[in-house]
Chain A
Amino acid sequence: MMKTNNVILETATKVIVFIILLFSVYMFFAGHYEPGGGFIGGLMASGAIVLLLIAYDIKTVTTILPFDFKKVTAVGLLFAAGTAAGGLLFDKPMLTHWFTYVNPPLLGKMSLHTAVLFDIGVFLVVVGVTMTIIQTIGESE
């Protein structure tokens, strides 16, 4: 079968994927003070990858993003478990979080919180699980 001519979709995808990824990162970092967080950010990031999968084929996407998404899930769980165990090292109950204010140059007063590390874990688990489900269903004949 001849390959269908998908110039409009492919060209638009090249621009739109970056907007979606940017918005997913925004959503991830907005999670503490505004609606957002690791779950919705991870779903949006995997939505961007699914758009790539629709516009191109599965082999092209695995060359663009050469990740084993099962390992991404594992790394995410490791982040979450590590943050949970972090409190134990400082003689506190498990899952104790801690924050501080720092004053880096240019950025001004920032509050850094260990809950972000836990959220990174959630983000990676959501991306890994979603992409594993979609890629295994897409590959099976």
Chain B
Amino acid sequence: MIEITYEFIVGLFIVVGGLLTLAATVGAIRFPDVYTRNHAISKSTTLGVTMILVGTLLYFFLFEEHFNSRLVLAIMFILMTAPISGHLIGRAAYNSGVKLAERTVTDELERDRKKGKQANSL
């Protein structure tokens, strides 16, 4: 019985992680501009890959009695780096002048930059 519970938990982690990663790819195809695509991919795959790694960690811990500390390190590393790479890609896109989607309501960064330029020129 306990074996089945363990299998269920491990399988749940890996299947949910795979579905989240699939949701990220659907978002990358369906969303209108760079920023929304970046939003979908960087969040969803971070959690998806983390859950797959947690499932792997639990599998080896529960069934093989082997605690793989490299996986813990990888989970920490992905949680730290993936959002930062998303941030840098979005910033590089904005700085090189990629247009926002047409349904955008307001662009506060552009407004603030104009203000900053005026303040510098004074």
Contacts and interface: CB of A to CB of B under 8 A. Distances in A.
Binding partners A and B = yes
Interface of A: 8-9, 12, 15-16, 19, 23
Interface of chain B: mostly helix, strand, loop or mixed = helix
A17 to B, nearest CB: 12
Interface of chain A: mostly helix, strand, loop or mixed = helix
Interface in B51-79: 70, 73, 76-77
17 contacts: A8-B84, A8-B87, A8-B88, A9-B84, A9-B88, A12-B80, A12-B81, A12-B84, A15-B80, A16-B77, A16-B80, A16-B81, A19-B73, A19-B76, A19-B77, A23-B70, A23-B73
Interface residues of B, number: 9
Contacts of A8: 84, 87-88
Contacts of B77: 16, 19
B113 to A, nearest CB: 12
Interface of B: 70, 73, 76-77, 80-81, 84, 87-88
Contacts of A15: 80
B50 to A, nearest CB: 16
B120 to A, nearest CB: 9
